[in-house]
Amino acid sequence: MKTAVLHIGIGNVGRELLEQVTTYGSDLVYHGLFDVAGGLFAADGLTSSQLHAFPENADKAVAALDCVDQMTDPFILVDTTAINLTLPVMKAALQRGGAVTMSNKKPLTGSQADWDELHALGGNRLFYETSVGAGLPVISTLKSLLATGDEIVEIQGCFSGTLGYIFSELETGTSFSAAVTQAKALGFTEPDPRDDLSGMDVARKVLILSRVLGKKLEINDVAVEKLYSDALADLAPEDFIKQVSTLDSEYAQKATDAKQAGNVLRYVATVSPTEHSVRLMAVPATSDIGGLHGPDNIIVIKTKRYLDNPLIVKGPGAGVPVTAAGVFADCLAAELVLKGEHAL
């Protein structure tokens, strides 16, 4: 039995996912593709030439929500957009008995009420492994720990490849402004680096992890330390880049102070019974988090069972092939659930 795929957001991750699924996902058949340009839908499946011609052959009048309403066979709705407008389509897909997979964090980081509704509708048909740590097994690890009766004591980690790169550079004597400029040139930052330096992307990941643990909270409940001064907050992006060097001496001092104490600076996310935060910390250079270099991510999970020797997941926390593969793996898990062959 084949499983139909309706896929919204054919950008970097979406295009790679399409490639991976059509190459390796023998029982997954694309029935719909949707992007800003419009949609493409065929009730009996799209041909490979139709898929490869997208978005040139997209039709403005074909909308994902209407196509979901036409689905009768088992299907998976995939969201690889970066927008906060896909929640209604997801809810409709789940109500119709479909499964939902996503790399997009936005549907998961709105109100607690939306999270609750999505999970009440979705149950085990809702997958978002790549929303934290891209292809790394973070969400599934937490869910397995919880399902087997373990208790999470504390989660700490670094979930921003961009900030990881910047603070690793600082250790080698590079100035803050040079590190930011290099990260931008390497394509690690958003077009406006303040989108990374604000800490909000990491805060969204803290919100998702906290909610997976069953906590009820909103994004404003996460304490966020942003990495630039208020004076630089309202500048145009090109002026921000010109003036970011005004932060150099402050960060050079922090890096020097940290080094003298045997520490390094890391932008750390913490989830514990008393804390939901993202902030710059000086951590021992010899610690697991201190030993992280460059854009890699790490999550250190302390539980009742993994207390003295925490469970650690570490590796690339971004990247198109690994993220697409993570969504693909979620699609394969969703396929098993829809076929009634998967218990968790």
Ligand X SMILES: NC(=O)c1ccc[n+]([C@@H]2O[C@H](COP(=O)([O-])OP(=O)(O)OC[C@H]3O[C@@H](n4cnc5c(N)ncnc54)[C@H](OP(=O)(O)O)[C@@H]3O)[C@@H](O)[C@H]2O)c1
Instruction: Pick one of 4, 13, 93, 108: the residue that binds ligand X (CB under 6 A).
Output: 13
Closer residue to ligand X in complex, CB, 102/300: 102
Site for ligand X contains 162 (CB under 6 A): no
Q: Which residues contact 336 (CB under 8 A, 6 or more apart)?
A: 342
Site for ligand X contains 11 (CB under 6 A): yes
CB 275 within 8 A of CB 222: no
Q: How many other CB atoms sit within 10 Å of the CB of residue 271?
A: 25
Q: How far is CA 290 from CA 158, 160, 269, 286, 302, in A?
A: 10, 14, 13, 6, 17
Site for ligand X contains 209 (CB under 6 A): no
Site for ligand X contains 319 (CB under 6 A): yes
Closer residue to ligand X in complex, CB, 130/174: 130
Bridge partners, residue 34, by sequence: 8, 39
Binding mask 44-83 for ligand X (x = CB under 6 A): ------------------------------------xxxx
Binding mask 253-292 for ligand X (x = CB under 6 A): ----------------------------------------
Site for ligand X contains 210 (CB under 6 A): no
Angle between helices 112-122 and 87-95 (to 10 degrees): 30
Site for ligand X contains 9 (CB under 6 A): yes
Q: Catalytic: which of 91, 105, 184, 205?
A: 205
By CB under 6 A, the residues from 133 to 152 that bind ligand X are 134
Closer residue to ligand X in complex, CB, 14/98: 14
The residue at minimum Cβ distance from ligand X is: 11
Instruction: Pick one of 8, 33, 139, 299: the residue that binds ligand X (CB under 6 A).
Output: 8
Does an H or E element contain 325, and which? helix 320-338
226 φ, ψ (degrees, to nearest 5): -85, 155
Instruction: Pick one of 4, 5, 6, 10: the residue that binds ligand X (CB under 6 A).
Output: 10
Does the annotation mark 205 as catalytic? yes
Closer residue to ligand X in complex, CB, 191/214: 191
Q: How far is the CB of 65 from ligand X (least distance, A)?
A: 11
The candidate with the shortest Cα–Cα distance to 325, out of 11, 3, 21, is 21
Return the structure tokens found at 255: 């890096």
Site for ligand X contains 109 (CB under 6 A): no
Strands of the sheet containing 223-224, edge to edge, are 223-224, 275-284, 263-272, 152-158, 296-303, 311-316
301 conformational bin, left if phi > 0, alpha if psi -120 to 50, beta if neither: beta
Q: How far is 141 from 108, CA to CA, in rounded Å?
A: 18
Residues of this chain that bind ligand X (CB under 6 A): 8-14, 34-36, 80-83, 85, 103-105, 130, 134, 318-320, 323
